[in-house]
A and B are shown apart, each in its own frame.
Chain A
Amino acid sequence: MSHDDHHHGHSHGSAHAHGDHHHELGFWQKYVFSVDHKVIGIQYAVTALVFLFFGFTLMMLMRYQLAYPKGTFPSFFAKIFGAANMPGGTMLPEFYNQLGAMHGTIMVFLGVVPLAVGGFGNFVLPLQIGAPDMAFPRLNMASYWVFFVGGVVMLFSFFVTGGAAQSGWTSYPPLSNIAPFGQTLWLIGMVFLITSSLLGSVNFIVTTVQLRAEGLSFFRLPFFVWAQFVTAFLLLLAFPPLEAAGVLQLMDRVAGTSFFMPEGLVVGNRMVEVAGEGNPLLWQHLFWFLAHPEVYVLILPAMGIVGEVIAINTRKPLWGYRLVVYSVIFLGFMSFIVWAHHMFMTGMGTTMSAFFQTTTMIISIPSVIILTAFVISLFGASIRYTVPMMFALAFLPMFAIGGLTGLPLGLTAADIHLHDTYYVIGHFHYVVAPGTLMGLFAGVYHWFPKATGRKMNDMLGKLHFWGTLIFLNGAFLPMFWIGMAGVSRRLYDQTKYFHGDAVQDLTVLSSWSVWLLGIAQIPFIINFFASMRVGKKVSDNPWAATTLEWAAPSPPPHGNFAVVPVVYRGPYEYSVPGAASDFSPQFVAKA
């Protein structure tokens, strides 16, 4: 896509006019099987955005069922989904469960991570460290295509008998062991996605360690690079246990083993003929050993983006840069020893729960430090309210709500009431949707000019911002009350419960917000595609920023920099007293 794509539409030759392309690369090598980190980054980003949108559509459908559990869907939907899923316009519970499990899976593994790490990481990280490309370009390409195959497998699973995975994104056995064939595809898909992440993370780490430009010491790295670097370690070391768990569940499903099945299971009043002696909680341990670090994989890149955007648009250095970096490292480390806070209700005794409650409280401290640093950075600033900045600023209170509501969940006593209710859904959506998604939107608006040489439209951007901010809150804020009232998650029809019926109005409110949120995305989609063609052309450094990616041409050619950059100072030297302008780029020697 981007600039090159645009030219491609007209004639191949015009690209050469820029002198960007030394090698004669065919269409396939240039746009499809490219080894250029920027093309791969854009491939990742666009694929991920499409998946995000798809995951969101699933949720819009579910919200209809939630709001009107006794009603039927308009006949239009009944026709699309057919009698197998929606006989007579009534969504079947199994279809609801498929949508839920796949929404979670798609949003996390096919949407946010590929966008945050595969997209932004790939595109920005080499540029920010002044490297010509990733350390292993071909591995990079492989990583994208393995991801792509994983995504296709996941999508395909909707069309097999019995439908897609339907045991939640957490796939707890024994339920997932006895689920229809879609679960097998889910496992196979996951193995692909995990492999892709592993390839990617090796690449990120090596690139960051080995390919930094001259003068770019670790403590001169932009915060975004730090965030990606720590994220890569999380992916590298936390994913393999889930891969192992996936293999074990696959064995349970196809080879008749019983790793996760105890003896004496009775389904439909018949004893299940397996060897038994397995342990259902083993899966949960292995799953959360990944999935807790995974939630920091979701948030760290977004924090990285927000840090960049804030520094640039406050026109002053990021407050407490070193402290923030240490916090991120500490956060990454701690994220490996809190996993069982998702399992407090499995029958945990006092010792173990004391341990995990404590680590959970400890891990909130670095987040507080990071957020505090960001907010303090605003003090004494000269805040430019650009569209990316607005998203980045909104990230702060939104993440704060999400993060703060994590605290009661981390206290076992409070978690008794809140576990597996909509309070949890509210908590983590505030961190992943109004939090991470806002951060990612900020990134799209912020780096769009670098990728295309054109800016996105401001009006449409602001429309998108306000719509998104308002309706995200409308969607998720009610969930705290719904959860307090005791409504369980993954519930096809909450009105069957006394307490659920009492808060049904809030659920309806949330649903309407979700649909309006969908409408609020239209300006973004239009803006995104239209700006590639007709957006205002901008200079190489439109935001007057200091980091290295702005030293490269927009869009950067193969090999990135016209002159190999050398770094002279830290990443956020804005408004330096006595300097000629209000920014002193890393790549400009002192005059």
Chain B
Amino acid sequence: MGGHGAEDIAKHVRVYVTVFAALLVLTIVTVGVAQFHLPIRTAVALAMLIALIKGSLVACYFMHLISEKSIIYWVLTLTVLFFVFLMLLPVLDVGGSTGSPL
């Protein structure tokens, strides 16, 4: 994140505390939602949505991704792409076979 003056850093620190609070709240929310034993599809969607938000907060603010250089974005874009291929794997496996489980 480049050279920072002392005020910059102080500003950062305030952001960190805010993000911390947000993460705590979201943790409580996700555990709270889980108590309702929602139908599995809804539950997965909600849990992953919350995890995605939390993850983005950590990545953007603690890992300073929000103000990162473009080369890092390039690396991550590539990774995300291959990550998606990896996530397609179960789909292929389950949907792709002409056999049936015993």
Contacting pair B93 A282 (CB below 8 A) = yes
User: B63-85 interface mask toward A, CB cutoff 8 Å, 1 = contact, 0 = none?
Assistant: 00000000100000011001001
User: A548-590 interface mask toward B, CB cutoff 8 Å, 1 = contact, 0 = none?
Assistant: 0000000000000000000000000000000000000000000
Given known A-B contacts A233-B78, A264-B102, A351 and B71 have beta carbons under 8 A apart: no
User: B17-50 interface mask toward A, CB cutoff 8 Å, 1 = contact, 0 = none?
Assistant: 0000000000000000000000000000000000
Q: Which chain A positions have C-beta within 8 A of B85? A: 289, 336-337
CB of A3 within 8 Å of the partner chain? no
Closest chain B CB from A544 CB (angstroms): 36
Contacting pair B89 A285 (CB below 8 A) = yes
Bound: A282/B98 CA distance, A: 16
Whose C-beta in chain A lies nearest to the C-beta of B92? Answer: A352
B-binding segment of A182-190, A216-224, A342-350: A342-350
Bound: A281/B101 CA distance, A: 12
CB of A509 within 8 Å of the partner chain? no
Bound: A348/B93 CA distance, A: 9
Q: Which chain B positions have C-beta within 8 A of A282? A: 93
Given known A-B contacts A209-B71, A262-B102, A237 and B78 have beta carbons under 8 A apart: yes
CB of A370 within 8 Å of the partner chain? no
CB of B6 within 8 Å of the partner chain? no
Restricting to A313-361, which residues have a CB under 8 Å from any CB of B?
336-337, 340, 346-349, 351-352
CB of A523 within 8 Å of the partner chain? no
Contacting pair A347 B82 (CB below 8 A) = no
Q: Which chain B positions have C-beta within 8 A of A351? A: 95-96
CB of A279 within 8 Å of the partner chain? yes
Contacting pair B93 A281 (CB below 8 A) = yes
Residue among A263, A264, A279 making CB contact with B93, cutoff 8 Å? A279
Given known A-B contacts A262-B102, A285-B89, A336 and B82 have beta carbons under 8 A apart: yes
Bound: A352/B89 CA distance, A: 11
Q: Which chain B positions have C-beta within 8 A of A337? A: 85
Bound: A346/B78 CA distance, A: 30
Whose C-beta in chain A lies nearest to the C-beta of B96? Answer: A352
CB of A408 within 8 Å of the partner chain? no
Restricting to A219-260, which residues have a CB under 8 Å from any CB of B?
233, 237-238, 241
Closest chain B CB from A466 CB (angstroms): 43
Q: Which chain A positions have C-beta within 8 A of B98? A: 347-349
Q: Which chain B positions have C-beta within 8 A of A340? A: 92, 96
Contacting pair A352 B99 (CB below 8 A) = no
Whose C-beta in chain B lies nearest to the C-beta of A244? Answer: B86
Given known A-B contacts A209-B71, A237-B79, A262-B102, A348 and B86 have beta carbons under 8 A apart: no
Bound: A25/B7 CA distance, A: 46
Contacting pair A348 B96 (CB below 8 A) = yes
Bound: A408/B45 CA distance, A: 43
Given known A-B contacts A262-B102, A264-B102, A241 and B96 have beta carbons under 8 A apart: no
Q: Which chain A positions have C-beta within 8 A of B86? A: 241, 289
Bound: A282/B94 CA distance, A: 10
Residue among A209, A289, A346 making CB contact with B89, cutoff 8 Å? A289
Q: Which chain A positions have C-beta within 8 A of B93? A: 279, 281-282, 285
Closest chain A CB from B53 CB (angstroms): 25
Whose C-beta in chain B lies nearest to the C-beta of A262? Answer: B102
Most central of B86, B96, B98, B99 by chain A CB within 10 Å: B96
Q: Which chain A positions have C-beta within 8 A of B101? A: 262
Contacting pair A347 B89 (CB below 8 A) = no
Bound: A330/B98 CA distance, A: 32
Whose C-beta in chain A lies nearest to the C-beta of B101? Answer: A262
Whose C-beta in chain B lies nearest to the C-beta of A282? Answer: B93
Bound: A85/B1 CA distance, A: 61
Restricting to A93-131, which residues have a CB under 8 Å from any CB of B?
none
Closest chain B CB from A294 CB (angstroms): 14
Bound: A264/B102 CA distance, A: 9
User: A269-299 interface mask toward B, CB cutoff 8 Å, 1 = contact, 0 = none?
Assistant: 0000000000101100110010000000000
Q: Which chain A positions have C-beta within 8 A of B82? A: 237-238, 336
User: A300-313 interface mask toward B, CB cutoff 8 Å, 1 = contact, 0 = none?
Assistant: 00000000000000
Closest chain B CB from A346 CB (angstroms): 7
User: B46-65 interface mask toward A, CB cutoff 8 Å, 1 = contact, 0 = none?
Assistant: 00000000000000000000
Q: Which chain A positions have C-beta within 8 A of B102? A: 262-264
Q: Which chain B positions have C-beta within 8 A of A348? A: 96-98
Closest chain B CB from A202 CB (angstroms): 11
Bound: A233/B76 CA distance, A: 12
Contacting pair B79 A285 (CB below 8 A) = no
Whose C-beta in chain A lies nearest to the C-beta of B74? Answer: A209
Bound: A352/B92 CA distance, A: 7
Bound: A132/B82 CA distance, A: 33
Whose C-beta in chain B lies nearest to the C-beta of A346? Answer: B97
Whose C-beta in chain B lies nearest to the C-beta of A351? Answer: B96
Closest chain A CB from B90 CB (angstroms): 8
Most central of B89, B92, B102 by chain A CB within 10 Å: B92
Q: Which chain B positions have C-beta within 8 A of A264? A: 102
Bound: A262/B100 CA distance, A: 13
Q: Which chain B positions have C-beta within 8 A of A281? A: 93, 97
Given known A-B contacts A233-B78, A237-B78, A237-B79, A349 and B97 have beta carbons under 8 A apart: yes
Whose C-beta in chain B lies nearest to the C-beta of A279? Answer: B93
Bound: A336/B79 CA distance, A: 11
Closest chain B CB from A289 CB (angstroms): 7
With A237-B79, A340-B92 given, can you name 15 additional A-B contacts, CB distance below 8 Å? A209-B71, A238-B82, A262-B101, A262-B102, A285-B89, A285-B92, A286-B89, A289-B85, A289-B86, A336-B82, A337-B85, A347-B97, A348-B97, A349-B96, A351-B95
The chain B residues found within 8 Å of chain A, CB to CB, are 71, 78-79, 82, 85-86, 89, 92-93, 95-99, 101-102
Can you pick out 8 interface pairs between chain A and chain B where the beta carbons lie within 8 Å of each other? Answer: A209-B71, A237-B79, A262-B101, A285-B92, A285-B93, A349-B95, A352-B92, A352-B95
The chain A residues found within 8 Å of chain B, CB to CB, are 209, 233, 237-238, 241, 262-264, 279, 281-282, 285-286, 289, 336-337, 340, 346-349, 351-352
Nearest 6 pairs of A and B residues by beta carbon: A352-B96, A347-B99, A347-B97, A349-B98, A237-B82, A285-B89
